Amino acid sequence: MDMEAPVLALVGFAREHFPADAQDRANMALKLDHCLRVFQEAETITTREGLSPNATRRSLWAALFHDVGRFPQYVAYKTFDDRKSTDHGRLGVRTLKRRSLLESLDEQDRKAVLTAVILHNKRFLPPDLPDQAAVPARVVRDADKLDIFQVMLEHLRPGAWNNPVVTLGLRDEPGVCTDALVDQILARKLGDYARMRTLNDFRLLLCSWAFDLNFPASRQAVQERGYLNELLDELPDLPKIRRVRETVLFALERK
Ligand SMILES: [Fe+2]
């Protein structure tokens, strides 16, 4: 599938928003790289899952543009924290429309892409979503998670610089996990961003994504790359954390 034109459009749009300050520019470059890698992850998922050409085209466009709202968000608010600024999924949809970035797609494709973008950062997908929009939305959510695992692991490794823009200002308290998050995982539920207080809570939240991967290809990728084990190894050695480990590793292995 020829995706050169939309890739160049995204890169051009992002670069328009690059700020003068070096640290701000680095934060924004990180997001542009993320968009391009999520696009690649989506390519792998659609190929491995053998999705139809329609589903593949919609998924790839949605993956490429899923975080387009991040660029105007950072310019306006100097943060990627939606809680302190605005819903970047919604802002992404407004941006795509305002800038006519999906102009070359037909009406059905455009609708599916906009739906996937607005839903990519919601806690759950609505259960009644038609397949046309649901499949790209599921691909984007999985592809996004695959890349965030990688990015967060780089920032959560022992000795890594705790960049508050990436780790949302959470405190580094090695022995501390918030019980509410542990309980959510033990109940096989997705962790809640709003309950995070420490970096360990962020690790727990990432582990809970094992319950929310839509495609076998995505679970396989997490397993091959050892993301969960690496996160779990940084958590304190407590009985309840051992149960967390069993619960999430079991979820990942389910076919
Ligand atoms: Fe996002």
For residues 67 and 138, membership in a common domain is answered with yes
Ligand 1 centre to CA of 237 (Å) is 32
Are residues 83 and 128 both part of a single domain? yes
Residues 38 and 123 grouped into a single domain: yes
Compute the distance from residue 239 Cα to the ligand 1 centre, in Å: 34
CA of 243 to the centre of ligand 1 (A): 30
Q: What b-and-e string marks burial along 155-172, b requiring 16 or more CB atoms within 10 Å of the CB?
A: ebeeeeeeeebbbbebee
Exposed, middle or buried by CB within 10 Å (0-12, 13-18, 19+), for 223?
Answer: middle
CA of 49 to the centre of ligand 1 (A): 23
How far apart (Å, rounded) are the C-alpha atoms in residues 98 and 108?
A: 18
**DSSP state, residue 197:** -
The alpha carbon of 77 and the centre of ligand 1 are apart by a number of angstroms equal to 16
Residues of the domain holding 107? 4-142
Q: How far is the CA of 3 from the centre of ligand 1 (A)?
A: 20
pTM, two decimals, is 0.90
- 213 in a structural domain: yes
- The 10s digit of each residue's pLDDT in 45-101 is 999 999 999 999 999 999 999 999 999 999 999 998 898 999 999 999 999 999 999
Which domain CATH number covers 33?
1.10.3210.10
Q: Does 122 share its domain with 204?
A: no
Structure token pair of residue 119 = 């839903």
pLDDT for the residue numbered 125: 93
CA distance 33 to 179: 34
Q: Which residues keep their CB under 5 angstroms from ion ligand 1?
A: 67, 121
Please tell me the predicted confidence (pLDDT) of residue 254: 75
Q: Cα of 162 to ligand 1 centre, how many Å? A: 20
What pLDDT, on the 0 to 100 scale, is given for residue 89?
98
Residues in the chain where the model's pLDDT stays below 70: 255
Amino acid identity, position 208: S
Cα 59 to ligand 1 centroid, rounded to whole Å: 15
- Whether residue 102 lies inside any domain: the answer is yes
Number of domains into which the chain is organized? 2
The one-letter amino acid code at 69 reads: G
- Encoding tokens for residue 103? 């102009």
**Per-residue confidence (pLDDT) for residue 255, from 0 to 100:** 54
pLDDT at 81: 87
Who's near 143: CB < 8 A, 6+ residues apart? 38, 39, 41, 42, 45, 63, 218
Cβ count within 10 A of residue 54: 14
Amino acid, single-letter form, for residue 167: T
Q: What amino acid is encoded at 159 in this protein?
A: G
- Do the domain assignments include residue 222? yes
Give the position of tokens 């996937």. 116
pLDDT of res. 145: 96
